[in-house]
Amino acid sequence: MEESLTGILSLQTPELSRKTGSEESDMYFELPATPPEQINPAVLAYLGDAVYELLTREFLLHRQQEHSRKLHNKALLLCSAVGQAKAMRALLPLLDAEEQHQFKRGRNAALSVTKRDNPTVHCAASGLETLFGYLYLKKEQERMLQLFSICVQTCLPEEEIAKAE
């Protein structure tokens, strides 16, 4: 057992280093040189799901000091497939051509959908996640925050947004 752990630990892995001392946010690690446009949309959606969830949690945590169950329930309004599809309907007319292209790549990607899920909703949510993954890799944090703000306004009830301000 110890030998296998030593073998795993000695494997060559890409070094993860935080960028510091620049004007960019330090939430970025050194990323692979592959342009985001060439990354599989399912992989962008995988990353975008995490980015979107983190934005949601940070928004709720910094603005609404509540019990974790309430925070979770509010996060569901933004992070569920239904919430993401609703947000995407509001965002779509505001996207530039490249952002629309990335959304469509994610929406049209071959993804597995369970029988109980609505495929249209699931595909729209995957498109939103792909878009956020793409924007993250392009380091377009300001644009991500602009779009996320619209998602919040679309998915959270007005009284919840008022509490957050």
- Positions marked catalytic: 49
Please name the residues in contact with 156: beta carbons below 8 A apart, sequence gap of 6 or more. Answer: 74, 77, 78, 164
Nearest to 149 by CA among 52, 36, 47: 52
Give CA–CA dist 46/49, Å, rounded.
5
Paired with 18 in beta bridges are 29
Distance CA 145, CA 45 (A): 17
Distance of CA 51 to the CA centre of its chain: 3
